[in-house]
Chains A and B, each alone.
Chain A
C-alpha cells in the first residue's frame, strides 16, 4: 500500500517557483495561440466536412474560392459578418445577444487543460524523464494552458455550460421551432453528459489521477483503449450526442425543426453557434485521444517520440474524420429512441464497465 502511494507521488511534476509576470505573459501568448488555432481548425473543419460529404455523395465540393477551395472558410467568414442580422421582433434582446457568444466562449474555454505534448524544460538543465520533470534554472513549459490536477473535472464542468447557450438561444428567439429544438437539445445533452461521466471513470480508475498529462504518462506501453474498449465506445458514442452530430443531431433536425435552436440567428450570430459545434468536436476528440489513445505518445515504438504534437493531432484528426464519416453515412434516430438509447443502453453499460474495471484495479 505504501509503495503504491509513493509511486503516485513521484509522478507529480516538480514545479520550480516562477515569477508572476512571466506566468501571465506565457498564459497570454498560449491563450491567444489556442484561440487562433481552434478558430482556424474550426474554419477548416467546415471545409473538410463539405469536401468529405461531397466525396461520399460523389460530388466535387467547394472548389471555386482559392486553389481547390482552400479559401472558402475565409469567404464564409466575411460573408457571415457582413450579412444583415434579421432577428424576430419578440426576442429577449439581452439573452439573444449573450447566447451565441456563450456557446463559442464555453467551447473555447474547455480546451484549457488538454495537454498536446509532455512538459519540457526550456533553458536550464534537468532530466525530463518519462514520469517526472525537474528543471533547475530553466522554465518548465507545459503544453496545455493550465496544468491543474483536476483537468478532467474542469473540462466536464466547462463543457456543460454549452447547454445554457443552446437553451437560452432557443428560448430567447420566441419561435416555436427554436424552443422545441432547445428543449430537445438540453434534455439530450444532459442525458448523454451522464453517459460521458460514467464512461470516463474507467480511465480514471486505471490511471488514479484527474490530471490529463499524468493520464497520458500512465499509458506508456499500453493505451487505455486496449484495457477499456467498451469505455472508449461508450465515450465516443456519447460524444456524438454531446456535439449534436448525426445520428444524434435531433436539436437541429432540419427536416422537422427548421434548424432547431439557432433557426432565428442570422449572420455571425449563427456563425458563433456553428463555430462552437466544430470546436466542441475538436475538444471531445482531443479528450478521447488523451484518455484512450495515449495522447502525444508515438503510435509505434520506432517512431520518434519528440514529434508529440504531431501524433496528438493525427489521432484527434482520425477521430474527427470518423465523426464526419458517420454523419454522412447514418440516418437520424427518432427522438424517443435517442433518449432511451442514452438511458437504457449507455448508462447501464457504463455502470457495468465501472464495476468490472474497479474489480480489475482493486484485485490486481
Chain B
C-alpha cells in the first residue's frame, strides 16, 4: 500500500529541517575573524606545497567498478531470498545456486587477476 510511505515523506521534511537548521545556526553563531593562515588547509603546520585536486591511485576506481558489479548481483538475491521459502522451493534453489556459482567464479577471476591487491 502506497499510503504506508506517507510518514516517510513527513520524516524526510523533519530531517531536512534539522540539517538546514543546524547548518544555518552554525553559520550565524560564533565569532568570525578570518586570516590568511586560517584559510590554509591543514598540513601539520607547514605551508601547503600543491593543490589537493590531484590524481589518486587507480585502485580506488577499480574498487568502485567491482562494487557496482557485485552489488547489482546482490540486488538479485533479495527477491529470491524473500520468495524461496514460500513459493520457489527446490527449483529456485538450483537456479540461484547456478547464479551464485557464476558470482563466485567472477570473484575468483578478479582475485586471480590481482584486482584486489593494494601495492
Residues of A within 8 A of B (CB): 1, 4-5, 7-8, 15, 20, 23-24, 26-28, 30-32, 34-35, 80-90, 97, 100-102, 104-105, 108-109, 112, 145-149, 153-154, 173-180, 183, 186-187, 190-191, 193-194, 197-198, 201, 204-206, 208-210, 258, 263-264, 267-269, 271-272, 335-336, 339-340, 343-344, 347-348, 351, 354-355, 358-359, 361-363
The answer to whether B47 has its CB under 8 Å from any CB of chain A is no
Chain B residues within 8 Å of A355, by CB: 97, 100
Provide the bound-state CA to CA distance between A15 and B3, in Å: 11
State the Cβ distance, B8 to closest chain A Cβ, in Å.
5
Residues of B within 8 A of A (CB): 1, 3-8, 10-12, 14-16, 18-20, 22-23, 25-27, 29-34, 36, 38-44, 48, 51-54, 56-57, 59-60, 63-64, 66-67, 70-71, 74, 77-78, 81-90, 92-93, 96-97, 100, 103-104, 107, 111, 116-119
8 Å CB contact of B67 from A102, A194, A264: A194
Q: How far apart sit A101 and B25, CA to CA, in the bound complex (Å)?
A: 12
CB distance from A176 to the nearest CB of B (A): 5
Residue of A nearest to B28 (CB): A81
Besides A4-B86, A336-B118, A354-B100, 8 more A-B contacts (Cβ < 8 Å) are: A1-B89, A105-B19, A177-B41, A208-B84, A268-B26, A343-B116, A348-B104, A358-B96
Q: How many A-B residue pairs have CB under 8 A?
A: 239
> 8 smallest A-B Cβ distances: which pairs?
A89-B39, A101-B19, A175-B41, A336-B118, A268-B26, A27-B7, A27-B10, A362-B93
- Please give the distance in Å from B33's CB to the nearest CB on chain A: 7
CA distance A344 to B117 in the complex (A): 10
Q: Looking across the interface, which residue of chain A has its beta carbon closest to that of B83? A: A208
Partner of B84, one of A148, A343, A358: A358
- Give the contacting residue for B42; candidates A28, A147, A194, A263; CB below 8 A: A263
Question: How long is the Cα–Cα vector from A291 to B97 in the complex, in angstroms?
Answer: 24
Return chain B residues, CB-CB under 8 Å to A23: 3, 6-7
CA A174 – CA B25 in complex, angstroms? 24
A35 touches B15 (CB 8 A): yes
Q: Whose C-beta in chain B lies nearest to the C-beta of A344?
A: B116
Min CB distance A238 to B, Å, is 13
- Which residue of chain B has its CB nearest to the CB of A83? B30
**In the complex, which of the residues B4, B18, B82, B116 contacts A35, with contact meaning CB atoms closer than 8 Å?**
B18
Of A87, A258, A264, A339, which contacts B118 at CB under 8 A?
A339
Establish whether residues B74 and A145, one from each chain, have CB atoms under 8 Å apart when the complex forms: no
Q: Which residues of B contact A347 (CB under 8 A)?
A: 70, 107
Bound together, the chains give a CA A103 to CA B19 distance in angstroms of 9
- A267 in contact with B26 given A183-B56, A204-B81, A348-B107 (CB within 8 Å): yes
B118→A335 contact, CB < 8 A = yes
Contact A100-B107, Cβ < 8 Å, known A5-B86, A15-B1, A187-B64: no
Which B residues are in CB contact (< 8 Å) with A149? 4
The CA of A241 and the CA of B51, in the complex, are separated in Å by 29
Pick 22 A–B contacts, CB within 8 A, sort by A: A1-B87, A26-B7, A84-B32, A89-B39, A90-B41, A101-B19, A101-B22, A105-B15, A109-B11, A148-B4, A175-B43, A191-B67, A204-B81, A205-B85, A258-B44, A267-B30, A268-B26, A269-B23, A340-B117, A355-B100, A361-B84, A363-B93
Expressed in whole angstroms, the Cα–Cα distance for A355 and B15 within the complex equals 39
Q: Which residue of A lies closest to B18 (CB)?
A: A35
Q: Is A208 in contact with B82, judged by CB distance below 8 angstroms?
A: yes
B51 to chain A: which residues have CB within 8 Å?
Answer: 90, 174
| Bound CA–CA A89/B84 (angstroms) | 56
Distance A355 CA – B99 CA, assembled complex (angstroms):
11
Inside 8 A of B19's CB, which chain A residues have their CB? 101-102, 104-105, 272
Return chain A residues, CB-CB under 8 Å to B60: 183, 186-187
